[in-house]
Amino acid sequence: MSELTNEQQDALFKRVFEDHHEGRIALELLIQRFARNAVTTGGIDAILKTYMQAGHREVLDHILLRINRANGVTTDQPDEDEQP
Q: State residue 1's pLDDT score.
A: 57
pLDDT band for 62, please (50, 70, 90 cuts): very high
For the chain, the residue count is 84
Distances from the Cα of 6 to the Cαs of 55, 58, 78, 79, 81, in angstroms? 22, 18, 12, 10, 10
Q: Where are the domains of the chain?
A: 7-70
Contact 33, 40 (CB under 8 A): no
pLDDT, averaged across the chain? 86
pLDDT at 69 over 50: yes
pLDDT at 83 over 80: no
